[in-house]
Chain A
Amino acid sequence: MSALSDLFAGFSVALTFHNLLYCLIGSIMGTLVGVLPGIGPTSAIAILLPITSFLPPMPAIIMLAGIYYGAMYGGSTTSILLNIPGEVASVPTCLDGYEMAKQGRAGPALAISAISSFFAGTISLIGLTFFAPTLADAALVFGPPEYFALMVFALTMVINLSGKDIIKGFVSALIGFLIAAIGLDAVSGSARFTFGSIELMGGIDFISVIIGLFAVAEILVSMEESVVAVFPGKIKGLMPTLHDLKTCLGTMVRATFIGFFLGLLPGLSTGITAFMAYDVEKRVSKHPERFGKGAIEGVAAPEGANNSATSGAFVPLLCLGIPPGPALAVLLGAFMIYGLQPGPLLFEHHSGFAWGLIASMYIGNAMLLVLNLPLVGIWVKVCKIPYAILSPLVLIFSFIGAFSVRNSMFDIWLTIIFGGIGYLMKKLNYPSAPLVLTIVLAARLEGSLRESLNMSMGNPSILFNRPISLGLIILAILFTFISFWARAKHLRVMEVAVEDQG
């Protein structure tokens, strides 16, 4: 009850006219910056942070919360309308969101993105309110073997994202591993697969890869198909239907729990959370073949999981000072500027400040919904812009977005090269999602494995004699067999159907 009263106290401070106004301004600015391709929440917060410096701490934090959520939603907007993911967590949104836009359903996609984010953020806040200190201790149980097992479990998604041809899915994933390995090894500092190139020593930047694979490749395919506009027809229905909302209710609940509990794990990227939520929805769906072709659950799941993971991530972020990714790391730095000292005693000694922060994140989340739902009608007009104008603009935005990460022309070349690779992958039916997922997972997986073996002096049994690690590996093997079996069964059914028709 103490936590609840502290939360209410936090709301009483945050819910003033001036603070709400700052949140609104932050949300607008965050959205406008987040819409720019390549400028994800991390860059948006870093760029807009100086603007908050003239404000007192509480309004500054509320404005930062608005910027953060606005930037996340802005990234989702470009994912849905232009197939340009601004960050890792937006990639699953591209898979179905852009397909919905091509079907004239950009409005429902944008709206469900905001609604799912708000729903998940609200529910996960309840979890954060009542369980934060307990969960902080539980999260510490995860060590390198557990993280390795979790990554292996996450890799079972590769099979589900492989489409019809599992071998091509595996090839895509293995290529992703090799791409991620280019650069300096995190453990030993050795240069790997750089072939003497100084540029490659910095590794292959992930943003360049995803912009190339999704945005540039899509434009090349569209040029071949002579696309007139993303959706040239009459756009009907800007909001999700009642059927859409009913369909997505279970999705939002599952995404909330997946995102929240995975977000508790220190250092786990929200991108992995988004992919996991997407995969779970595909597995539980009665019609998994709809995913990747405009299934609204495919947008609701990663967006909700992403948002609830942020709430979950506040537990290790505030209690242990461990951010899950670059965006929250910048946010944490900003909060420390304003006097927040993360650590185990935060909720005891500075509960007012901490709960005010949590209240401000909730307000930012709500502001996102209030601000962006009415703007859906404006955003969807992007789909009507002639492709002859849109595609060159998207290309330029893509190049600049790639350049902006490291201020390097090399990244523009990478974007173009991966655009070509993405085009070939589409033509030859190689799925790009496994490649993206393994690039995200590879460093963490390899690092966890090597740390685990270092801990056990090279003995691999460490992965199997810890209960959480063993349980996750067993689940991974089980899910893998289930996926293979289901796929083989589906193929047999199709073969029988073809024979019957013949």
Chain B
Amino acid sequence: MRKADRIAGILFIIISMIFGVQALKLRGPIGGRGIGPGGVPLAISGGLLLCGIILIYRSTKGKSADGSHSLIWPHFKRERNFYIVLLASFAYPVLIYIFGFILCTFLFLSLLIKVLGKFRWRSVILISVSSTVFLYYAFKVWFYMPFPKGLFW
């Protein structure tokens, strides 16, 4: 976890610098008194910078304050479900513009239920179709939600 704390500390320092520089570019208070739009964010960025430095310092000294152990990323093969869900989540908002809401939602549900649960295709299709129909009627028909239309549907 020391390495993770060190990386996190560096990241927070970078974030604080980006926001701090942007805050300095904002105009001052109206009438010259009080705090402008950049005042509070600048102070917050300073605080984040300090926390980042503390995290880096602590990582060089010893164990993490919360006593946690090293960060272990999910194994690509053993915990493949994690990566499948992650990939499907990123793919959904991209593919919805190609397949449209109904088809994309059906494909998303079918793929994940089949891969995660290893159910029979009959069960997968039944659950996916009924869920998609419910979602369509609940959100598109009843709530008039303007979902993106695909190239085909």
Contact = CB atoms under 8 A, between A and B. Distances in A.
Interface of A: 36, 47, 163-168, 170-171, 174-175, 177-178, 181, 185, 187-188, 190, 192-193, 195, 216, 219-220, 223-224, 226, 386-389, 391-393, 395-396, 399-400, 403-404, 407, 409, 412-413, 416, 419-420, 427-429, 446, 449-450, 453-454, 457-458
Contacts of A165: 64-66
Contacts, number: 167
A388 B115 CA distance: 8
A167, A188, A387, A416: most-surrounded residue (chain B CB, <10 A): A167
Contacts of B51: 167, 170-171, 174
A407 B118 CA distance: 34
> Which 10 A/B pairs are nearest by Cβ-Cβ distance?
A388-B117, A458-B33, A453-B34, A388-B116, A392-B112, A185-B37, A223-B82, A164-B66, A165-B66, A165-B65
Contact of A219 (B5, B85, B96): B85
B147 interface: yes
A413 B51 CA distance: 28
Contact of B146 (A174, A407, A450): A407
Contact of B109 (A396, A404, A409): A396
Given A396-B131, A399-B92, A404-B145, A391 B4 contact: no
B152 interface: no
Interface in B45-89: 45, 47-48, 51-52, 54-55, 58, 64-68, 71, 74, 79, 81-82, 84-86, 88-89
Contacts of B48: 171, 174-175, 178
B36 interface: yes
B133 interface: no
Contacts of B88: 395
Given A188-B36, A404-B139, A429-B66, A416 B89 contact: yes
Contact of A392 (B34, B58, B93, B108): B108
A188 B22 contact: no
B113 interface: yes
Given A168-B66, A386-B117, A400-B139, A178 B19 contact: yes
A223 B109 contact: no
Interface string B8-33: 10001001000100110011011001
A450 B93 CA distance: 39
Nearest to A387: B116
Given A409-B93, A457-B33, A167 B55 contact: yes
Contacts of A192: 22-23, 26, 37-38, 41
Q: Name the prevailing secondary structure of the A interface residues.
A: helix
Nearest to B111: A392
A195 B48 CA distance: 20
A413 B94 CA distance: 10
A167 B57 CA distance: 12
B109 A393 contact: yes
Contacts of A412: 92-93
Contacts of A457: 33-34
Given A165-B64, A188-B30, A396-B109, A220 B41 contact: no
Given A164-B67, A190-B27, A220-B86, A454 B139 contact: no
Nearest to B127: A389
A457 B118 CA distance: 67
Contact of B40 (A177, A391, A420): A177
Interface in B112-130: 112-113, 116-119, 127
A170 B47 contact: yes
B15 A395 contact: no
A450 B41 CA distance: 13
Nearest to A416: B89
B112 A391 contact: yes
B135 interface: yes
Given A428-B1, A454-B33, A388 B119 contact: yes
B93 A413 contact: yes
Nearest to B81: A223
B19 A393 contact: no
A330 to B, nearest CB: 15
B89 A178 contact: no
B82 A188 contact: no
A11 to B, nearest CB: 34
Contacts of B108: 392, 395-396
Given A174-B44, A188-B30, A392-B108, 8 more contacts: A47-B142, A181-B44, A192-B26, A223-B84, A224-B74, A407-B145, A412-B92, A450-B40
